[in-house]
Amino acid sequence: MLKVWAARRRAFNMELTKNQAVLDWIDQQVALTKPDQVIWIDGSEAQLEQLRQEACATGEMYKLNQEKLPGCYLHRSDPTDVARVESRTFICCKKQEDAGPTNNWMDPQEMYAKLHKLYDGSMKGRTMYVIPYCMSVVGSPFAKYGIELTDSIYVVLNMAIMTRMGAEVVPYLDENFIKGLHARANLDPEERYIVQFPEDNVIMSINSGYGGNVLQGKKCFALRIASNLGRQEGWLAEHMLILGIQNPQGEVRYVTGAFPSACGKTNLAMLIPPEGYQKNGWKCWCVGDDIAWLRVGADGRLWAVNPEKGFFGVAPGTNAKSNPNALATTHQGTIFTNVALNLEDDTVWWEKLTPNPPQHALDWKGNPWSPDTATGPAAHPNSRFTAPAENCPCISPEFNNPNGVPISAIIFGGRRAKTAPLVYQSRDWQHGVFVGSVMASEKTAAAEGTVGETRRDPMAMLPFCGYHMGDYWQHWLDMEKAIANPPKIFNVNWFRTDDQGNFIWPGFSENLRVVEWILKRCFDEVGARETEIGYLPNVEDINLDGVDVDRETLASLLSVDRDLWREEAKQIRAFYAQFGDKLPQTLEKELEGLEARLQD
Ligand code: OXD
Ligand code: MN
C-alpha cells in the first residue's frame, strides 16, 4: 500500500529531498489522509504568488487595495474557529505525570488511534502541501528544522511569513526533524485537536484553520516541543519578547520579557523612546515580539534568538499612537485574519485603528457593517495580522544574527492593580525563578469574570509549557549552573491603579525609564534598596524628566504593602500546592523566605 502512495507522491511532485526518513514519513501521512495531489513548497516567490492567486480565486483570501496595502490580503476563518483552544490542546507523553497538572493529557497510543480515524481520508479532493521550515536562522546553532504537511494554502502563506521555509531548509532535514500534520477536515469544534507528542517530536492539529492552532512553527513547535528539547539539551524556549536598547553612547543592551496577554508585550517589544530620550540619542530595537530561544554562549552569558521571521499580532487596539511600529509593519506583504474590510477604499479596519470607523464595511464574518447599525464589533477581538518582521521600522540589525544577542536582563510582568510595585529586582537567579513562577495578572473587565481575580501564569508559559511545570521550574533552576554570567531577573507592573481605578503610571514609551533603571542595575551603575520582596529603586533613581509624574507618585508606585503581600504569599502557597512533590524544594524555600520576611 505504501508503495502505491510513494508512486503517487512521485508522480505529482518535484520532491526536494532524497532523505528516506523524510520520504517514508510523508508517504505514511499521504496514505492516511489521501490527498489528490502533493506539492512541495520550495518557498519561491513564483510558487507563493500562484498560491495567492488560487486562494483568491476560491475566496479563501481577498486581495486588498494594492496601492495602499501592496501584497496584503484578508482572510476570514470559520466563525467557530477564531482563537487558540486550550481545552483541545494536548501534551501526549507516555506518563501523565510528565505532562503535569497544567496540561491536558492523553495516552499517546489512544490519541494516535483517535486522530488516525479523524485524519483518514481527510484530504480527499484536496492538495497536501509539504512545508519544510526552520525555526531561527537557517544553519544557526539555535536552528531546529521541521516539516508541516497541510491542506491549507492559508497555512502555507502564513508560514512563509512567519518562518524561514522552502528549498533552502531541505538540506538540513535529518532524522530528528519535527513532524507536523495539519488537516482542516470539516472544522468540527467538537473534534478539534491540537496535539503535541514530545517523545516523538510530532505535532498533529485537525479541524481548525486558525493561526495559533495551525501555524505549527509558533506555539506548537517553538514553545511546546522546543521547551522539551531545551530541557534535554540544556537551553530555554520561552514565551518572551527580545528588545535592544541603545544608549546615547551607542551601546546596545538587550532584555527579554515575559508577560501574560493584555499586558502590552507587543508594545514593549516595539518601544519608541520618549521624545527627550530620542533627542539624547536613545533608540530601541525589536528582535522579537513573542518567542525567545535562549542558550549559554561561550562567554558564559545567555544569548537569545527570535526563532520566528514575522509577527502574528493582535490587530484591535493597534494604532498610530499605541504602536506605530506595529502598524507600519502591516502596510505590505501582510495577511489579515478576521479584521473588517473597509469598503470605502478596500483596505482594513479594526476597533481603535482610527477614531472614526468607516461608514461602509464588512465585519469579520463578511456581513455589512456600519457604526450606526452595528450590533457587534467590526473586527473580531482576536483578529490578527501576519506581517514580515523585516517591515518593522525598528527591527534590530541583529535580527538575522545566527548567534543571537546577549541578554542582560529578564523581565517578568503582570497586570496588578495594587500588589506589585512598578519594578523590583530579584535577589538572585533562584529568587528570580520564584518571581517568574508566581507571575500573575488580574482580570480587568466584568465580562471576563470577577474583576480583580488573579490568574497565575508562570513565565507566561501556562498554555505553552510542553511538560510538567514543576520540572520546568527545576530546569530553570538547573540552568544557573551553566550560566557563568546570568542575566538579572526583574518584575514590572505598569498597571497599578489609584483609588478611582485610574492607571498611575503612563506606560507605553515611558516604560523606557524603568527599563533604563533595570539595565543600570545589570551593569552596577545604580544602587537599590532591599525590601521583603526584592530590590526596589530609590525614588530619585528613575528619570522623570519630561513626564508628568512627580516623585511622590513614583514613591507610591514603589511601595510594598505588607498586608497585601501576606495575602499574596498565601495565594502563592495555594497555587504551589497543585504541583505536589514536583515543586522544587528551592522554590518552597523561596516562598518560606518571603513569608518569614513579611512576618518580621
Ligand atoms: C499569541 C498568544 O498569540 O500568546 O502570541 O496567544
Ligand atoms: Mn504569545
Q: Closest Cα to residue 216, out of 126, 276, 156?
A: 156
Average of per-residue pLDDT across 464-471: 98
Mean of all residue pLDDT scores within the chain: 95
Terminal alpha carbon distance of the chain = 73
Taking CB atoms and a 6 Å cutoff, what residues make up the pocket around ligand 1?
84, 212, 261, 290
How many helical (H) and strand (E) elements, i.e. helices and strands, does the chain have? Answer: 17, 31
Residue 17, pLDDT score = 84
pLDDT for 192 equals 98
pLDDT digits (tens, 9 = 90+) for 414-426: 999 999 999 999 9
Q: What is the pLDDT of residue 298?
A: 97
Query: Domains of the chain (ranges plus CATH)?
Result: 2-58+89-233 (3.40.449.10), 238-306+399-599 (3.90.228.20), 310-391 (2.170.8.10)
User: Which residues, 6+ apart, have CB-to-CB distance to 492 below 8 Å?
Assistant: 411, 412, 413, 420, 422, 423, 511, 514
Share of the chain above pLDDT 70, in %: 96
Looking at residue 18, its pLDDT comes to 83
What's the confidence (pLDDT) of residue 9? 55
C-alpha cell at 560: 510594598
Q: Cβ(466)–Cβ(89) under 8 Å?
A: no
257 CA to centre of ligand 2 in angstroms: 11
Please give the pLDDT value at position 16. 81
Rg for the chain, CA atoms, rounded: 24
Instruction: List Cβ neighbours of 81 (8 Å cut-off, separation of 6 or more).
Output: 187, 189, 192, 208, 209, 210, 213
Give the number of whichever ligand sits closest to the CA of residue 86.
1
C-alpha–C-alpha distance, residues 324 and 332, integer Å:
14
Residues with catalytic annotation? 263
- Whether 192 and 206 have beta carbons less than 8 Å apart is answered as yes
Instruction: Give pTM, 2 decimals.
Output: 0.96
Which pLDDT does position 443 carry in this prediction?
Answer: 77
DSSP string, 266-305: HHHHT----HHHHHTT-EEEEEESS-EEEEE-TTSSEEEE
Give the residue, out of 84, 266, 289, with the most ligand 1 atoms within 8 A of its beta carbon, to mutate for a pocket test: 84
C-alpha to C-alpha distance for 320 and 65, rounded to whole angstroms: 20
Quote the pLDDT of residue 187: 97
Residue 199 pLDDT exceeds 80: yes
CA of 313 to the centre of ligand 1 (A): 8
Residue 451: pLDDT band with limits 50, 70, 90: low
219 Cα: distance to centroid of ligand 1 (angstroms): 8
For ligand 1, atom 5, name the residue with the nearest CA: 290
DSSP secondary structure string, 360-401? SEE-TTS-EE-TTT-SS-SS-TT-EEEEEGGG-TTB-TTTT-
User: Mean pLDDT across the stretch 395-419?
Assistant: 97
Split at pLDDT 50, 70, 90, the class of 262 is confident
Q: What is the pLDDT of residues 337-389, one digit of tens each?
A: 999 999 999 999 999 999 999 999 999 999 999 999 999 999 999 999 999 99
What integer pLDDT is reported at residue 591 of this predicted model?
98
Give the residue-averaged pLDDT of 577-583.
97
Angle, helix 469-482 to helix 585-599, in steps of 10 degrees: 90
Choose which residue among 290, 311, 459 to substitute to test ligand 1 binding: the one with the highest number of ligand atoms within 8 A of its C-beta: 290
Return the ligand 1 atom nearest residue 261 CA.
4
The whole-number average pLDDT for the span 560-564 is 97
Asked whether the predicted pLDDT for residue 6 surpasses 80, the reply is no
- Probe residue for ligand 1, chosen from 261, 291, 459, 462 as the CB with the greatest number of ligand atoms within 8 Å: 261
The Å distance, Cα 84 to ligand 1 centre, comes to: 8
Which grid coordinates are listed for 268? 514593549
Buried b (16+ CB within 10 A) or exposed e, 75-95: bbbeeebbbbbeebbbbbbee
- Tell me: the pLDDT tens digits for 303-334? 999 999 999 999 999 999 999 999 999 999 99
pLDDT in tens, 77-110: 999 999 999 999 999 999 999 999 999 999 999 9
Ligand 1 atom, smallest distance to 384 CA: 3
% of the chain at pLDDT higher than 90: 94
For residue 377, count other CB atoms closer than 10 A to its CB.
16
Q: Residue 362: its pLDDT value, please? A: 98
DSSP β-ladder status, 335-337 and 384-388: antiparallel
pLDDT tens by residue, 135-152:
999 999 999 999 999 999
> What is the structure's pLDDT at 446?
45
CA distances from 562 to 35, 55, 436 (A): 63, 59, 20
Q: CA 44, CA 160: separation in Å to the nearest integer?
A: 10
Among 534, 533, 540, which Cα is nearest to 517's?
A: 540
Closest-CA residue to 161 (of 333, 304, 285): 333
pLDDT at 212: 85
Residue 429 above 90 pLDDT? yes
Is the pLDDT at 507 greater than 70? The verdict is yes
Strand partners of residue 91:
105, 196
Question: Distance (Å, rounded) from C-alpha 554 to C-alpha 550?
Answer: 6
